[in-house]
Copies of this chain bind each other. A is one copy, B any other.
Amino acid sequence: MGIIRKTASIDLLLNEFEQESNAISAVDLIKRLDKQINKTTIYRVLDKLEDDGVLHSFLGFNGVKWYAKCKGCTKSVHKDFHPHFQCLSCGTVDCLHIHVEIPEIPNREVLFSQLLIQGKCETCAV
């Protein structure tokens, strides 16, 4: 279940996502807010914000969890599915608001898919 009470931890975390347009890893948030919020709380608040359709999560290329703001999702309807991009030079991760067509696969039912693209971002590309 999502967030019920407005607390300081929630404000601090939401603020990080206001300041930043890119995705932020849970590990990085723990570092950034080290002195202010306990890591258990960070994981729990992120989880709740995801339930509420405020954030969405995905795994980066080495398996760590990243979070980014949702566009137009609600507690009941999560519709903001899209690929993610990880820059191999600077490490930046962000959402790609493009549609990639997943082909039909014979005899299989496709329910979800996650696409992680790696390469060089705007600033790092030659």
Contact = CB atoms under 8 A, between A and B. Distances in A.
Interface of A: 59, 61, 63-65, 85, 88, 96, 98, 100-103, 105, 107-122, 125-126
A102 B88 CA distance: 17
Given A85-B108, A98-B103, A100-B100, 11 more contacts: A59-B63, A61-B114, A85-B105, A98-B105, A101-B101, A102-B115, A105-B117, A107-B125, A111-B119, A113-B117, A113-B118
Copies of chain A in the complex: 2
Given A59-B63, A63-B59, A63-B63, A111 B118 contact: yes
A103 B102 contact: no
A106 to B, nearest CB: 8
A21 B55 CA distance: 37
Nearest to A113: B117
Contact of A122 (B63, B101, B108, B113): B108
Contacts of A96: 105
Nearest to A87: B108
A68 to B, nearest CB: 16
Nearest to A112: B118
Nearest to A59: B63
